[in-house]
Amino acid sequence: GAGVSQSPSNKVTEKGKDVELRCDPISGHTALYWYRQSLGQGLEFLIYFQGNSAPDKSGLPSDRFSAERTGGSVSTLTIQRTQQEDSAVYLCASSSRTGDNYGYTFGSGTRLTVV
Amino acid sequence: AQSVTQLGSHVSVSEGALVLLRCNYSSSVPPYLFWYVQYPNQGLQLLLKYTSAATLVKGINGFEAEFKKSETSFHLTKPSAHMSDAAEYFCAVGTTGGGNKLTFGTGTQLKVEL
C-alpha cells in the first residue's frame, strides 16, 4: 500500500478482555516496529520484526503482550487480559532497510482505551 | 545504550519568530539522528535525518537541524514560525547495528501564537 495502515483507529474495551491491533506495512518494507505512546510520554519501543529473523521482543512490558508477523507483511499485536494502564496509542512503523537508518514511516495509530 | 533528552516539553513562539527546539543525545557509537513531527490524531512524520553526511541537515517545511558532536546536540530550527507548525516534535536516535531501533525523546509541544 501507499502508507502504513493500522486498524482499528480507535478501540474501547473492557478491563480483562483481549484485543488485537493490526498493522499493514508499506509493501516491500522488510522491517516492522510497534511503539506505544502514552499520554504525556514519549514513544516506548515494544517489538521489532526484520524479515524472517527472530523478532526483538525486548520492549514488551509483560507476557500479556505478544505480536506476530505473517508472511513478512501484516502484523498483529495482541494484548491479553487488558488493564487500564494499557490505555495508549499504539503506533506501527515500517522501514525499507536496517542498519542504514533510513527512518521510519508511521501509521496513524490505534487509540486503545480500557474501561 | 542510547538516549535522547528534549529540553522543554512546551515551547511557545509568535508567528514569524525563530523556532528552536532542543535535543541532546547520548550514544556510545556514532549516532543517526532524526526529527519527527506529529499533528493531532496523526502518526509521526519524518522531518529530517542526520546519517553522518553533512552536519547541517535540511528537512521539509523549512526546518533544519545541525549535528554538533562536541555538544552532543541536534537542535531543530526554523527561521520564521507559521501557524501550521503547531504540533508535537520528537527527536530520536539510532545507531548502526542497532537494528534500526530508534529511541525517542518525550517530545516538545510547539505552540504558535498570532
Q: pLDDT category, A1, cuts 50, 70, 90?
A: low
Q: What is the distance between the alpha carbons of residues B43 and B97, in angstroms, rounded to a whole number?
A: 26
Q: List beta partners, residue B75.
A: B66
pLDDT score of A49 more than 70: yes
Please give the average per-residue pLDDT across A50-54, as a whole number.
85
Nearest to B61 by CA among B42, B80, B74: B80
Give the number of beta-carbon pairs within 8 Å between A and B. Answer: 68
Amino acid identity at A24:
D
Least CA distance to A94: which residue of chain B? Answer: B100
Which distant-in-sequence residues (6+ apart) come within 8 Å of A3 by Cβ?
A26, A105, A107
Q: pLDDT category, A99, cuts 50, 70, 90?
A: very low
pLDDT score of B30 more than 90: no
Q: pLDDT category, A112, cuts 50, 70, 90?
A: very high
Please give the average per-residue pLDDT across A56-80, as a whole number.
94
Q: What is the distance between the alpha carbons of residues A114 and A16, in angstroms, rounded to a whole number?
A: 9
Question: Cell 525517542 maps to which residue?
Answer: B104
B90–A99 CB contact, under 8 Å: no
For chain A, percent of residues with pLDDT exceeding 70: 94
pLDDT of residue B31: 84
pLDDT score of B98 more than 60: no
Which distant-in-sequence residues (6+ apart) come within 8 Å of A19 by Cβ?
A11, A13, A78, A79, A82, A112
Please give the average per-residue pLDDT across B86-103, as a whole number.
81
Give the nearest partner residue to B94 out of A56, A101, A108, using CB atoms. Answer: A101
Q: Return mean pLDDT, chain B.
A: 90
Q: What is the distance between the alpha carbons of residues B1 and A37, in angstroms, rounded to a whole number?
A: 21
Q: Return mean pLDDT, chain A.
A: 90
